[in-house]
Structure 1
Amino acid sequence: MGAFAYSEEDGTPAAEMPDQVPVETRQARRDELISQQQLIGQRFAESLIGKEVDVLVEGYDHDDNLIGRTQWDAPDVDPIVFLNQDAQNQLPPLIAGQMRRCLVTGASLTDLEATPIA
């Protein structure tokens, strides 16, 4: 979810209305909404720990962490899945572009940590 504070847009009827809400109030309302959404996102991520999800392997981030995303996540804007390689080397290596079944092993805010199981 994205949230923005209201701003007067030139040429719109709302910009000309009297008694505009103060900028500080607009920003406080936006901040509260974002804070609530972050809690919801964190709870959702934590609810996935111990569950299996399909993950699209995307490759490596700038810190050389292998990453992917679930079916619910859009690239570049939504949480990511940090992927652990199969420690016992019983599964094929993870390759960008693959869809792999993973077990969610942890969550950090809204991001997930997962290990491939298939």
Structure 2
Amino acid sequence: MKHIMIIDDSPTIRMSVEYALSGLGFSMHHAENGSDGLEEVKNIKGTGVDVALCIVDINMPVMDGITFIGEFRKTDRFTPVLVLTTEAEELKIKEGRVAGASGWILKPFRKQDMLNVVQKLIRC
């Protein structure tokens, strides 16, 4: 089974993403900030299972999404990281790409848009 890490400080967004992707048969894991997300990814990988995709918000307490991506990329250069955020500013998008983001979706998202991007990123 493939695993997806959803990192967002909003429980509503985390559940919305899980609902949107529920038909794809993934195991979903949640964290409410980048620091918790890194720890959860480490725990998942510690069981011998890889994470197929991380979906991360930019604006979160403790550790923001850009910092998460930079830290995540230190140990994993290949797993796609999809940014899901309200940030539409070109400078912020560029900052995300430089950090290692694989894609960008704006909130609020449409279910089909999320499915399309996820399917392209993990080729399911």
Q: Would you say same fold, with TM above 0.5?
A: no
| TM-score normalised according to structure 2 size | 0.21
Structure with greater strand share of residues: 1
Q: TM-score, normalised by structure 1?
A: 0.22
* Structure ID, larger Rg: 1
Q: Which one has a larger percent helix, Structure 1 or Structure 2? A: 2
